[in-house]
Structure formats: structure tokens, C-alpha cells
């Protein structure tokens, strides 16, 4: 009976160590909207894509968002509804999945802009329809950060750190109108990602990934995710299990 008690105590200690380590970890939340709730689109400076041949510039609201050009310009705009999301994030990342196919002469580096005014091609615009964001209707934006983002790699996730921008939105320092992606090069170079309308695999749609204090809130469509234990967490668990084994061996020694 004493040996059994020792086993129970040791197991309880191991579980407590693991639970304590996990509770100290950040709460991860993933916001990944789909059709009807997502707001992302690409627009271009020349072709209308309205079935009428040339301009003025337009674009499409389809399963891709495109950044690049071939002498012209292709921009992409993305906005997430942050209602109910954590007021402060220790880390916030915009993650886009790059379409596996190579377009033109390959991908281009990107510039990230903070959009500074309201935009919604579905309710406003000066073009012939409200099915695309016409080039003349694209919202004002300012570059966020001085650096150039690297070109994405086909078939992989592309992560952009927007922690300061997210916290600025949530604090009210900036109004949340989303972000705009612009190309570094336009010599038949393209960075193409899946949009929130992509139906082939919903898990590849654009997502906002937040790390925050334990218990951080998540908004509509934001899914809290149990974080994978860090190596030190496993070390603590192994220490607890080691103590369990030591206790068991010690009990057997005294019994003999």
C-alpha cells in the first residue's frame, strides 16, 4: 500500500509540474475567416478584369491575392475583424500561404502598408460595378516599417510580424483598416497567396496568429489553440517522472 501511495504522489507531482509549465505559456489564438467573413482582394493599375478588355484598373475578388506586376502594378489588401480579440498581444503575425505554382519570373519582395481610411469594394466605388476594387478607389495607405519584406517561397507559409501594428489598432492609436501589400519588382514577378475565398483547403486561408497572456480573449472566428509544450516543459515532466521512478525503486529496496 505504501508503494502504491508513492507511485500516486510521484505521478501527481509530474502532472502538476506539466500543468504549471503549460499555464505559464502564452495563449495562442488563430483568426482565419472564410468566404462571407473575410475581407481581402487584389487590385491592379491597368486591366479592369471586368470582361471589357483594358482599363481603367480593376482586379478580381477570387481565391487568390496577388502582388507584383508586368510593367503595371498589383496590390493586395487584407483586413481582419478584431472585435473581441485580445487587447494586447505579445506576438501578432499575418500568415499567408503561397500558391505552389511559380508565376512569371518568380516571386517579388514586398512592402507592407498600413491602410488609413475605410474601404469596401462591395458597398462603394466609382467603377462600372462593385465586384472588384477599382484602382481609382483604393484607400490611402502609409508604409509600415522601413524595411523590405523578403520574397515568399512557393508552397510555404509566409509570416509577417505585425505585433506593434496590432497593438496600435487595439489601443486606438490607429484605426483598423487593415494592411496593403505592394511589390518591390514588377518585371513579370509575382507573389501569389490564397485568399479567404479559397475553397480547396480552408486551412490555407490567410490567418492572424496571436500569442498573448494565458486566458487571452478570442473574437468571432478566433480559435484558441493549446500551445505545444516547449522543451523546458518536457524537461520538467521528465524530472517528475524520474522522481516517480526513484520513489518506486526506493520503496522496492526497503521492502526487500
Shared domain check, 245 and 153? no
pTM over 0.85: no
Shared domain check, 199 and 112? yes
Shared domain check, 113 and 52? yes
Shared domain check, 83 and 36? yes
Domain that holds residue 254: 1-25+229-256
Rg, Å, the chain Cα set: 25
Q: What confidence score (pLDDT) does residue 213 get?
A: 75
Q: Is the Cβ–Cβ distance between 21 and 229 less than 8 Å?
A: yes
Shared domain check, 145 and 58? yes
Instruction: Report the alpha-carbon distance of residue 109 to residue 101 in Å, rounded.
Output: 17
For 112-124, write each residue's pLDDT tens digit.
999 999 999 999 9
- Residue 114: all three cell numbers together: 498600413
For 165-175, write each residue's pLDDT tens digit.
999 999 999 99
Shared domain check, 61 and 6? no
Taking every pair of C-alpha atoms in the chain, what is the biggest distance, in angstroms? 92
Number of domains in the chain: 2
For 122-158, write each residue's pLDDT tens digit.
999 999 899 999 999 999 999 999 899 999 999 999 9
Statement: residue 67 has pLDDT above 60: yes
Question: Taking the chain, what is the end-to-end CA distance rounded to the nearest angstrom?
Answer: 15
Shared domain check, 39 and 20? no
**Cα-to-chain-centroid distance, residue 99:** 16
Shared domain check, 255 and 224? no
With a pLDDT cut of 90, the percent of the chain lying above it is 68
Instruction: Report the alpha-carbon distance of residue 239 to residue 101 in Å, rounded.
Output: 47
**Residue located via cell numbers 484605426:** 175
Amino acid at each position: 500500500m505504501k508503494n502504491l501511495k508513492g507511485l500516486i504522489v510521484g505521478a501527481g507531482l509530474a502532472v502538476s509540474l506539466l500543468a504549471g509549465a503549460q499555464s505559464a505559456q502564452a495563449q495562442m489564438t488563430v483568426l482565419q475567416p472564410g468566404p462571407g467573413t473575410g475581407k481581402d482582394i487584389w487590385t491592379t493599375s491597368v486591366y479592369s478584369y471586368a470582361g471589357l478588355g483594358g482599363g481603367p484598373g480593376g482586379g478580381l475578388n477570387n481565391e487568390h491575392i496577388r502582388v507584383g506586376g508586368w510593367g503595371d502594378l498589383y496590390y493586395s489588401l487584407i483586413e481582419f475583424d478584431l472585435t473581441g480579440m485580445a487587447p494586447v498581444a505579445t506576438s501578432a503575425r499575418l500568415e499567408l500561404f503561397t500558391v505552389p505554382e511559380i508565376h512569371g519570373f518568380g516571386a517579388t519582395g514586398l512592402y507592407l502598408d498600413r491602410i488609413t481610411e475605410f474601404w469596401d469594394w462591395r458597398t462603394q466605388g466609382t467603377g462600372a460595378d462593385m465586384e472588384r476594387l477599382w484602382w481609382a478607389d483604393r484607400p490611402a495607405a502609409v508604409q509600415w516599417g522601413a524595411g523590405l519584406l523578403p520574397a515568399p517561397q512557393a508552397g510555404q507559409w509566409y509570416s509577417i510580424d505585425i505585433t506593434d501594428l496590432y497593438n496600435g489598432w487595439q489601443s486606438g492609436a490607429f484605426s483598423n483598416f487593415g494592411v496593403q501589400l505592394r511589390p518591390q519588382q514588377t518585371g513579370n514577378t509575382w507573389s501569389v497567396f490564397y485568399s479567404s475565398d479559397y475553397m480547396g483547403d480552408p486551412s490555407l486561408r490567410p490567418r492572424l496568429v496571436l500569442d498573448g497572456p494565458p486566458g487571452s480573449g478570442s473574437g468571432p472566428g478566433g480559435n484558441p489553440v493549446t500551445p505545444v509544450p516547449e522543451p523546458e516543459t518536457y524537461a520538467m515532466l521528465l524530472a517528475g517522472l524520474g522522481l516517480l521512478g526513484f520513489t518506486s525503486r526506493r520503496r522496492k529496496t526497503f521492502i526487500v
